[in-house]
Amino acid sequence: MRRFFVVLVTAVALAGCGVNEVPKLDEQVKAAWSQVQNQYQRRADLVPNLVETVKGYATQERETLTQVIEARAKATSVQLPADITQNPEAFKQFQQAQGQLTGALGRLMVVAEQYPNLKSDQAFLSLQSQLEGTENRIAVARKDYIDAVQRYNTQLRTIPGRWVAAVVYPDAKVKETFTAAESAQTAPAVKF
C-alpha cells in the first residue's frame, strides 16, 4: 500500500511539473503542420479548374498556363519525409515548391485581368474567390504552425523544459518554421 502511495504521489508530482508539456506541444505542432498541408492540397485541387477556365479565354497565354501547371505538379510531387518539420533541407524544398506555385498563380491572375469576358465569367469569379480564400487559409495555417513551433522550441530551449526533454524525451528536436522568401523583403513598386 505504501508503495502504491509513493507511485501515486510521484506521478502527480511529475504531471504537475510539466513533464508532459513536450509531447503535448509536439502534438500541437503536428496538428498545425497537417492543417498547412491540408490547405496547400486544397489550393492544388483548385488549380486545374482555374487553368481550364482561363484556357478558354486566354489561348495565347499558354506559357503562363504551362508554368502554373508545372508549378502545381512540382508542388504536389514533393515527397515529404516523416521528419519534415525537423529536416531543414526537406522543409526548404517544400517551401520553395509552394512558393513557385504561389508566384505562378499570381502571374495567372495578372493574365486574367487582361480579359474582360473572363473577369465577368461566373465560374472564374467563383474559382478566384475560392483561391483567394484558400490563400488566406494557408496564411492562417502557416501562422498557427509558426506559433505552435515557437511554443515547442521555446519549451525545448528553456529551463526546466530543456532538462525534462533531455531526460525524458531525448529524441525531441527543434522544429523548422517558415521563412519569408527573399522577394518578400522588397516592397513592390506601384506605378500609375
CATH classification of the domain holding 93? 1.20.1440.20
Which residues constitute the domain of residue 143? Answer: 16-172
Asked, for residue 189, whether it belongs to a domain, the answer is: no
**What is the pLDDT at residue 27?**
96
Query: Helix, strand, coil: what percent of the chain each, to 5?
Result: 80, 0, 20
Residue 182 grid cell: 527573399
Is there a domain that residue 10 lies in?
no
Supply the pLDDT for residue 190: 44
Torsion of CA 79, 33, 76, 177, to 10 degrees: -80
Percent of the chain scored above 90 by pLDDT? Answer: 52
Within a 10 A sphere around the Cβ of 159, how many other Cβ atoms?
A: 7
191 inside domain: no
- Structural domains of the chain, count: 1
Give residue 18's region: left, alpha or beta (phi > 0; psi -120 to 50). Answer: left
Assessment of whether the complete model's pTM goes beyond 0.75? yes
